[in-house]
Amino acid sequence: MNLDTINCGLDFGTSNSVISITDKKTKKEVFTYSDKSILYFPETNDLTYLVGQEAQDMYIREQMRGRLLKSVKTLLKQDKFLFTWIYGKKVTPEQLSMFIISHLKKKAEEFLGFQITDVTLGRPAIFSEDPQQEALAVKRLLKAAKDAGFINVKLQLEPIAAAFYYESLLDSPKNVLVADFGGGTSDFTVMKLSPENSSKVDRSEDIIANDGIYIGGDVFDSEIMWHKVTPHLGRGVTYRSYDKDIEVPNTIFHELKRWERSFLLKESKSRRSMEGYYFHSGNNALLNNLRVLIDNNYTYSLFKSIEQSKMALSVGDQAELTFQREDMEISDVLPLADFNQYISKHIDEIEQKIDLTLEKASMTVEDIDSVFVTGGSSFVQLVRAALYKRFDPKKVHIGDAFNSVAFGLALS
């Protein structure tokens, strides 16, 4: 095996990232490695970092000291986000992405025994509705891959890559809608797939339509945080001011919906104001939960508990939502019906995007022979229900939620 006999596909995802190596001749998988798209920077001066599960484990062992970054991919489109300071050093979105891409590249090279120069790199159907942000995200992603050591980088839409994976399983031609529900986006592509076309180099004529929307698992988690968890942190609590009962401002609770920004709250004006709210509320225990959460940087761990509850709802009608630390405790039940209500507006937007994708393809539901579903958020019951509502359930096929895109990228 050498560089000329393999293809490399890399799916740099919002929540998880995967690298896949396939044999050019046989189209068979040679190597696959996946890890969480998480970075952890310990409290050092040399920009030491860890990636993935190792990063998460170390962050918890260090009792949430240091900097943990998740959903790095979402930073690529943010034109106002030029860099972040990490222990006195400026780190750009390209660098953060490069750290994760390099980690996967190194794992594959250790297995193969030689350096990989070429890669087909996945990208969502849409980074942003704003053309300027869209172009910036693509530019940054390409730079990250080049800085990671790849020389020849080809971008491929992630739902199209999933389509190539699904095509490898077909025995007859089909019009296929590929639905890729990830952590950051939900992407849709309509393609003509056939096992006879798998060897074609140019597949542009087979791509009928594609579209996407910036809704995924992270948004669902944030809705649980807002509706179910923030009341345990003092949202709705009142404090006494000039003989009036006033509700604690929601500003700080809105910030908690984005855990990756929560480390900024510790030194914020909102946090300083919380001392007064706490005192004038009669030392309300719920507001103390909030103080403990922010001061000890527990927000990421809390979101992991939220994510576990969400995952439990993929197979049940309710889930336990618990989070306990030395100075605080949250214990509640999350019914599936409540979760569905929290995310219903987002599901409506997803359904509208599916309809728009079919409209772009000049197709009806009946024209689709098969629906191929992938991505971690495809486990959400309401997501699948949206598909079953539109399509014959016999047409809906659930793929490998995490690896199908990377394998398809290698095939393409």
pLDDT band at residue 345 under the 50/70/90 scheme:
very high
109 and 242 co-located in one domain: no
| Secondary element (H or E) of residue 322 | strand 318-325
Are 23 and 30 a contacting pair, CB within 8 Å? yes
Q: What's the pLDDT at 412?
A: 78
Pick the last residue of a domain from 339, 363, 384: 339
Quick check: is 320 in a domain? yes
227 and 114 co-located in one domain: no
7 and 109 co-located in one domain: yes
In 3D space, the residue among 319, 320, 339, 342 whose CA is nearest the CA of residue 331 turns out to be: 320
Nearest-angstrom CA–CA distance, 314 and 337 = 12
Quick check: is 245 in a domain? yes
266 and 127 co-located in one domain: no
Nearest-angstrom CA–CA distance, 86 and 38 = 15
Cβ count within 10 A of residue 234: 26
Quick check: is 159 in a domain? no
> How much is the average pLDDT of 333-337?
98
Task: Name the 3-class secondary structure at 405.
Answer: helix
> How much is the average pLDDT of 298-305?
90
18 and 131 co-located in one domain: yes
Quick check: is 376 in a domain? no
Pick the last residue of a domain from 282, 317, 339: 339
**Domain limits at 269?**
218-339
> How much is the average pLDDT of 62-79?
88
* Predicted confidence (pLDDT) at residue 264 exceeds the cutoff of 90: no
Q: Which residues pair with residue 85 across a beta bridge?
A: 90
* Predicted confidence (pLDDT) at residue 64 exceeds the cutoff of 80: no
Domain count of the fold of the chain: 2
Nearest-angstrom CA–CA distance, 179 and 320 = 29
Task: Name the 3-class secondary structure at 68.
Answer: strand
39 and 136 co-located in one domain: yes
Pick the last residue of a domain from 150, 166, 201: 150
266 and 146 co-located in one domain: no
Within 13 Å, how many C-alpha atoms sit on residue 179's CB side? 29
Question: Domain holding 146: CATH number?
Answer: 3.30.420.40
Quick check: is 74 in a domain? yes
> How much is the average pLDDT of 228-243?
95
138 and 222 co-located in one domain: no
Please state the pTM of the whole predicted model: 0.85
Q: What's the pLDDT at 135?
A: 96
Dihedral sign of CA atoms 80, 83, 86, 90 in order: negative
Quick check: is 295 in a domain? yes
pLDDT band at residue 199 under the 50/70/90 scheme:
low
29 and 115 co-located in one domain: yes
Nearest-angstrom CA–CA distance, 336 and 26 = 44
229 and 107 co-located in one domain: no
Those residues whose C-beta lies under 8 Å from the C-beta of residue 26, and which sit 6 or more positions away, are: none
Q: For all residues of the chain together, what is the average pLDDT?
A: 93
Quick check: is 410 in a domain? no
* Predicted confidence (pLDDT) at residue 237 exceeds the cutoff of 90: yes
19 and 131 co-located in one domain: yes
Nearest-angstrom CA–CA distance, 37 and 100 = 7
Hey, what are 168's tokens?
A: 């490898």
| First-residue to last-residue Cα distance in the chain | 19
Quick check: is 412 in a domain? no
Q: What's the pLDDT at 61?
A: 87
Nearest-angstrom CA–CA distance, 220 and 99 = 27
Report the amino acid identity of residue 193.
L
DSSP-assigned states of every residue in 276-338: HHHHHTTS-HHHHHHHHHHHTT-HHHHHHHHHHHHHHTTTSSEEEEEEEETTEEEEEEEEHHH
